Structure 1
Amino acid sequence: MKIIKQAVLAALLSAAVPLSAAYAATPADVLVVAQNIDDIVAIDPAQAYEFSSGELVTNIYDRLVQYEPEDLETLAGGLASDWEVDEAAKTITFTLRDGVTFHSGNPLRPQDVLFSFRRVVALEKAPAFILTQLGWTADNIEEMVTLGDNTVTIKYAGDFSPNFVLNVLAARPASIVDEVAVMENEVDGDFGNGWLNANSAGTGPFKLRVYRPAELATLDANPDYFKGAPAVSSVIIRHVAEAATQQLLLESGDVDMAKNLTPDQVGSLEGKDNVKVETYPQAAVHWFSFNQKVEALTDEAVWEAARYLVDYEGMTETFLKGQMQVHQAFWPSGFPGALDDTPFTYDPEKAKQILADAGVELPINVTMDVINSTPFTDIAQSLQSTFAEAGINFEILPGTGAQVITKYRARTHEAMLLYWGPDFMDPHSNAKAFAYNADNADDKYASTTTWRNAWAVPEELNQETLAALAEPDAEKRNEMYLDLQKKVQEKAPFVIMFQAVKQVGMGPQVEGFVNGATSDFVFYRLVDKN
């Protein structure tokens, strides 16, 4: 009976049903989520590099070490029961947990760990750099990752601490996949990449049952999960782009959770008995950038003036209220090494003077790519209005999340409005993205804002970024990151504006949902519908 109910519910949620149609209440053991998931480009953990795909990967796969919903601040054993560090030899030896099986029923083996890392390096998709920064290549991976009877020894090459390495191994591309199941579905040497973008092969608390891009994702609970079976039998994530539709579905009881509500909608829910709103600080910083392939956008005076053409307070006090706070540095507030100074305010007269003193030829007409959903379109319209006062005219180009991100990765945009979250919980994750670009050539792809905006970072910043990575003293290291953030604030072709705060509407019966500071810290395992 349970299977029939879930199948019927999934059919209802994926159908084009008029909003006036009647829906049945969600089953007691199924969590139904309304969320905008059109940013997803890929769900293979070797390729997934978007916020929504991060949530799926975290709930389907495990890593050797990982952060858990019970304690988001402590790195814990995942598929590894324990590990030993040899700092002199630059190695970490992991002992695998006994009795773990993949969703297929295949047992976890050391070979699966090597295979998972090898395919990330060989495929060279967007997040591969997270692992290759350890000195791993397709040619040396079997020397850097060696196997014992039930152990895996990781070797790294680089001047950084073991704690940095452990944080790298807790990142999304370090997820462990089932070699046997994946290779049974390999096509033309793709390491099963095509298959894993529609299926799953993990050990995690949930298994992917259905994924239809920009439509639906259904996760079924893994009853044999080594840390205990989830409380709900399924999670259905329905793509709902419109925030108003999400609110309607939530209030009518057709979904249990709405993830993309506007501040006005959140305010309208206050005092209602059938809905509650939970707030979760986020690590994502929101910014816009100028592609340095566009000649009119290469003058540093344009970058400087832009910082005074953003109505920071105006946006956070109106349509961004409760969703964003003013933040002007690349490492998010609340983490060690974060710069909380906000030296820039909306001052169009100062911006005009900066442009005039530099002899910048006006007007500048530039296209701005933006994700076609709230709050991105609202932010873009505010920027369009305030920048026009100084003679910088934005033509807004809305698109799906996947379209915008794909264009950005190809460096074919002019201006771009986007967000960035750490790939792993270490300041270097964002420092490398915003303050490092060793090779700006078109054929030297790097998953960084610097390369994607074609900014040839000054060598001084490149060297300081590497020095901060290698610094063993924690206090001194944080001071170096503070300095890096100040320098990027002052002179870079992007303007960091906000840090996100996420508000999630949910039914009063939903308990145990964990939404950490990044999409990799979104957990459904503890959710219970009392």
Structure 2
Amino acid sequence: MTGMKAALMAAALAGAMGLATPAEAAGKLTISSPQDPGSWDPIDTFLVNWASVATNIFDGLTYRGPDRKLVPGLADSWTELDGGKRIRFKLRTGVKFHNGEPFNAAAVKFTFDRLLGEEGAKGPQRSNYIAIESVEIIDDSTVDLKLKAPDPVLLTKLAGYGAMIVPPNYIKEKGDAVFNVNPVGTGPFRFVSYAPKTGIKLEANPDYWGGAPKLSEVEYRFISEPSTAVAELQAGRVDLVLPPTIPIGMVPVIQADPKLAILSVPGPTVDALRFNTKSGITADPRVRKALTMAVDRTTIVKSILAGQASEIASFQGELSFGYDPSLKPLPYDPAGAKALLAQAGVKPGAAVQIDIRGNDATMNEVAQAISGYLQMVGVTATIKPYETNVLLNDIIPQGKTGAMFQQKWGGWTFDYDNTAYAMYHSGEKWNPYEQDAELDKLLESQRAITDVAERERILKQIARTVADKALEMPLYNSNAIYGVNKRVKNFVPAPDNRVKLTDVTVD
């Protein structure tokens, strides 16, 4: 995003909040984040709550701001060579990591060798970058990414998560375990301290290549309980509450407070209840379709989500590349659901377990409604809440879920590939149950296609295949809802939670 555009967007938001935007300010910003990622190493995580913090510590070769436009990051420019099999990056010069170590071509090579090597294999990020065969240093400020095959989303992937550039000497000297909890990057803020389950503190990097931040300090507090986060915002002990903390029911409470505002923007985040397709009654696709048809998702979106979401037919929102507007959700049809259940031999009183994130108040309410709908077609649903990290790092990847389990996915690239490959390809962390050679083939084939229209056709075919197999009960595409104290200025809400705070000020 250009500085002018960012300024205009910030001014518009400030105006909407009834406030003037001062030219300069400084001070400390305190942010409530619902989850401690547990590690600050870019290759260790997929969590949007990691990105909310780490976007301010690390930089990628490219950058994508709230306007979803891709611009230079640590690379000044890039050029495709050899028919797209090689991308040459000209790097910024004079940039240093927070520990004083120089950023250069060697740092880029180290970052991707590490990501694609043994250390990267331990985390969830490597599969997003497997199109990269090697990184070749041309000179100190020029590198080539040599590709095994074209990846039409790679430049966007380089703007976040696993592709954040890390300091070679620091990691070699200190080791991965130290880096996990003492991160060093090139970003606008430097790491100060980290208290697991409590919070992380940052300070301004006055030498930031993009210009020194206007804030002097940023503190993120990990507050998993939504009511506590909102109470802290109301009391002025927190200036900003990040998505997806704020339950829909608390939005009017915040809007009624003259000191506070709600900023809501359409985002990539989608929610679904995915099915155990390997065992139990949900191994039968007829049962999966019946359970989906039994739930009035339209009413859930209108009544529980109060218009802060839209119903989905596949695990993506309408901003996603690969979205198919002609693909419609299974209809709400309790009679049809009962007929399918009977056809599958499911007796009235059959039980299913729904696993959800315990701190997701909105999903808790949605799950209660779903349980009620299922009861009306003769299926008894038990809701089992888990601590989020347990559900995501143990229960789902190990295939230890109940018949249905909540999957909330950021889809931050706004490209269905980033979601679909992780959810449906055999052997992926988020796909503990399903193995489908034909679906694997489709997922793999679209990654090598540079023809935009053909790739979109295949992505739509993938969505239809998933819908036909009823691998999940698609629920809704949520808005990203931020609660903010009006003393915060120049804050631009990001749809993907990757909030860069360089221009933010506080009164």
TM-score normalised over the length of structure 2: 0.88
Q: In the comparison of the two structures, how many residue pairs are matched?
A: 475
Counterpart amino acid of residue 497 in structure 1: L
> For residues 343 and 75 of structure 1, do their structure 2 counterparts lie closer, same or farther at Cα, with a shift above 3 Å needed?
same
Structure 1 position 355 matched with structure 2 position 341: yes
Q: 1: distance between equivalents of 2:276 and 2:45?
A: 24
Q: What corresponds to 1:153 in structure 2?
A: 144
Equivalent of residue 179 in structure 1, options 158, 168, 174: 168
1:220-369 correspondence runs (5 A):
220-259=203-242, 260-340=245-325, 341-369=327-355
Percentage of pairs with the same residue: 26
Q: Supply the AA of the counterpart residue of 2:357.
A: I
Q: 1:527 aligns with which of 468, 490, 504?
A: 504
Query: Equivalent of 1:169, from 127, 140, 158?
Result: 158
TM-score by length of 1: 0.84
Post-superposition offset of 1:368? 2.4
Name the stretch that deviates more: 334-343 or 371-380.
334-343
Q: CA RMSD in A?
A: 2.2
| Structure 2 counterpart of 1:456 | 435
Decide whether the 8 Å contact of 2:58 with 2:164 is kept in 1: yes
Match of 1:395 in 2: 382
Q: Tell me the residue number matched to 1:46.
A: 43
Secondary structure class of the residue paired with 2:434: coil
| Corresponding residue number in structure 2 for 1:11 | none
Distance 1:446 1:463 in 2: 14
* Of 403-412 and 118-127, the range deviating more from structure 2: 118-127
Q: CA deviation at 1:131?
A: 4.7
Task: Indicate if the aligned counterparts of 1:284 and 1:499 stay in contact, CA closer than 8 A.
Answer: yes
SS class of match (2:87): strand
| Alpha carbons 2:46, 2:125 under 8 Å: kept | no
* Structure 1 gaps, min length 5: 1-26, 187-191, 438-444
**Pair 1:466–1:56, CA change in 2 (3 A):** same
* Letter in structure 2 aligned against 1:393: T
Offset at 1:362? 5.0
Please give the alpha-carbon distance, in whole angstroms, between the structure 1 residues aligned to 2:467 and 2:500.
Answer: 34
Quote how far apart the aligned CAs of 1:391 are. 3.1
Identify the residue that residue 398 of structure 2 maps to in structure 1. Answer: 410
Contact conserved, 1:42 with 1:49, CA < 8 A, in 2? Answer: no
1:65 paired residue among 47, 50, 62: 62
Task: Please name the residue that 1:14 is paired with.
Answer: none
| Partner residue, 2:131 | 134
Equivalent AA in structure 2 for residue 367 of structure 1: Q
Q: Is the 8 A contact 1:301 1:360 kept in 2?
A: no
Q: Is the 8 A contact 2:61 2:72 kept in 1?
A: yes
Change (3 A) 1:480 1:368: same
- Alignment check: 8 A CA contact 2:204 2:217 kept: yes
2:95 equivalent in structure 1:
100
Please say if 1:30 is aligned against 2:28. Answer: yes
Shift of 1:198: 1.0
Letter in 1 for 2:363: F
* Of 444, 450, 470, the match for 1:492: 470
Does 1:56 pair with 2:15? Answer: no
CA distance 1:474–1:494, shift in 2 (3 Å): same
**Residue aligned with 1:412, SS:** coil
* Structure 1 match to 2:4: none
**Separation in 1, partners of 2:172, 2:419:** 34
Structure 2: tracts of 5 or more residues without a match:
1-24
Contact kept, 8 Å, 2:93 with 2:104, in 1: the verdict is: no
Q: CA deviation at 1:371?
A: 0.9
Residue 7 of structure 1: aligned partner: none
Give the SS at the match of 1:431: helix
Aligned equivalent of 1:110: 105
**Cα distance, 1:357 vs. partner?**
2.1
Of 47-56 and 93-102, deviating more is: 47-56
Deviations 1:264-290 (A, max 9, x none): 221123343211111121101100112
What is the Cα deviation at residue 145 of structure 1?
Answer: 3.6
Q: Does 2:362 align with 1:375?
A: yes
